[in-house]
Amino acid sequence: MEGLVLGLLALSVFLFARLLMMKKKISRPPFSPDEGTEKEIRQLMEAGEDVKAVKLARERYGFSLIEGKQYIDKKKNAG
Residues 45-67 pLDDT 10s: 999 999 999 999 999 998 999 99
d(CA 44, CA 30): 24
pLDDT of residue 31: 73
Q: Which has the closest alpha carbon to 5: 79, 51, 13? A: 13
Higher pLDDT among residues 18 and 70, named by residue: 70
- pTM exceeds 0.85 for this model: no
Cβ-in-10-Å burial (0-12, 13-18, 19+) of 19 comes to exposed
pLDDT band at 29 (very low <50, low <70, confident <90, very high): low
pLDDT of residue 28: 66
pLDDT of residue 23: 77
Which residue stretches of 28-79 are H helix? 35-46, 50-61, 65-78
